Every structure is written in structure tokens, then in C-alpha cells.
Amino acid sequence: MKAAIITLAGISSRFNEGIPESEKIHKSIYFEGEKKDTILFHLLKKCIFADRIILVGGYKYDDIKDYIDSLPDEYKKKITLTYNEHFEDLASGYSLYVGLNELFKEKENIEEVLFIEGDLDVDKTSFDKIVKADKSVLTYSFEPIYAKKAVVLYKDGEDRFKYAFNSSHGLLKIDDQFSVILNSGQTWKFTDINKLKEANDEFYEKEKDGTNLKIIQNYINRCSSDDFCLVSIDRWTNCNTRDDYKKLLTYWEEDENENIK
């Protein structure tokens, strides 16, 4: 069984900045024009390869549930929506932990797990490369690396992959020597499910207030560098504001026109 996890628990603070409380909406289901033009639906279309799709909600949970209920059956039958009760007081790692825990209840054999954050848009060609890879996947984008917003992926002097990120969005310091440094594409695939379970358990026992990078680093530390392939993402957009969403509308329209050709 192939699975995908999409985390959606965040409170969309920048997206709803200056918006009256009664008009605030979760950014993953926001649309202008057609109801299908949401970040979530475009992610679900890319994840339709999966036998099971786990969505982890928190903020505006009931709104997300209603949106899912309105989707075509081909999507609904694959989706499990689960609730992160700590979406306000713990960091992003707990959402991934909740999603993995839900998945590990599955009685079928899990072959691989794709994970993407629910406010990202990745071009389909790059996404398909991740899906088709026969190893665990670490991704990178071609965006400039700004310390205040980038998650850095690098390989240290011992040929191990590591991540660096400043959660307060200040300057970033890397004490290691490194052979390569990249801007993380914030999309991953895991193929060793036993190691993934161990990484998830370690997170809960030692650092459950950390970001999702803690679980991912726990997994990486249990593997060798040869267990991974690096996949570049040609078009990568982190949707934090409504201006970002308008960019996505343009990209989606271009993709649709390209498909018509």
C-alpha cells in the first residue's frame, strides 16, 4: 500500500491578516472563482496515486471536513481526516506524528509514505519524479536561501544529510562543514516503514514540541546517504498570503492550458 500524508493544522495567520474573524478561512480550502482551485484539491490530484491519503487538520477543522465531503467519490474514498488537538500549542512535528500514528493503524502492508505540507504547490512533473523514485526522497527547490524563511538541506563532512532551520526566522548558523547546501523542497518520501515508526516514536518520547524536521532527521539518522535520492523541484510555491494564492491561480491556469495542448 502506498500512502500520502498532508498536514493542514496551521492557523493561516498571515493568509488571514487584516480579515474580519467571520470571514477568515483556512488557506488550504480558499478559492476565488472555481471551487476546485484550492491548494488542497491540487495536492489531492497529485496524490491520487496513493491507496490512502491522511489529512491532518486543526484550525477550521469542520470547514475542511465539509470541503472533503463535497469532493468526488474517487477522492473521498481514499481520504482519512484526523484531528491534531495540539495545533495551537505544539509545532508542526506533532501534526506529522498524528498523521503517521493514524497511518500505522492500517492493517495492510505499507510500502512507502509521501509527506507534503499542506500549503505547498509543486509542479506535477517534479511531483511525479518523487512518486516514481525507488528510494526514499529528499527534495530541494531552486529558490534563493534566505535565513528568515528557508529550510536548509545539506550534507555534512561525514556524508550525512542534515537540516537547518531558524524557527524564529532570524539568522541561520551552521556549525558543520558541508559538501553541498540546498533549499529544502519540503516534500519527502519514506520507504523504510520500520525506521519511520522508530523515528516517530523517538519524536514523541524526546521532542514532541519540535517541528516535523525532527521526525525526518530521526529517520535520516537511521539510514545511510545511499538510501536516499535527491529530487529537484522546478516550480515550488509556499502559499503564505493571498498574493501567493494569486500566483498559484496563474500557474494552475498555465498548467491547464498546457494539458489542453
pLDDT at 33: 86
Mean pLDDT computed over 118-144: 97
Distance CA 95, CA 91 (A): 8
pLDDT at 259: 67
515508526: which residue's cell? 197
pLDDT at 99: 98
Mean pLDDT computed over 196-216: 97
DSSP letter for 58, please.
Answer: B
Distance CA 198, CA 207 (A): 13
Mean pLDDT computed over 218-238: 97
Per cent of the chain over pLDDT 70 is 98
Pick the CATH number of 2-260 from 3.90.550.10, 3.40.140.10, 3.40.50.1970, 3.40.50.12240: 3.90.550.10
Residues 147-187: tens digit of each pLDDT:
888 999 999 999 999 999 987 778 998 999 999 999 999 99
Nearest CA to 79 out of 39, 50, 111 is that of: 50
Nearest CA to 27 out of 57, 4, 71 is that of: 57
The pLDDT confidence band at residue 258, using thresholds 50, 70 and 90, is: low
Q: For the chain, which residues make up each domain, given as ranges? A: 2-260
Per cent of the chain over pLDDT 90 is 89
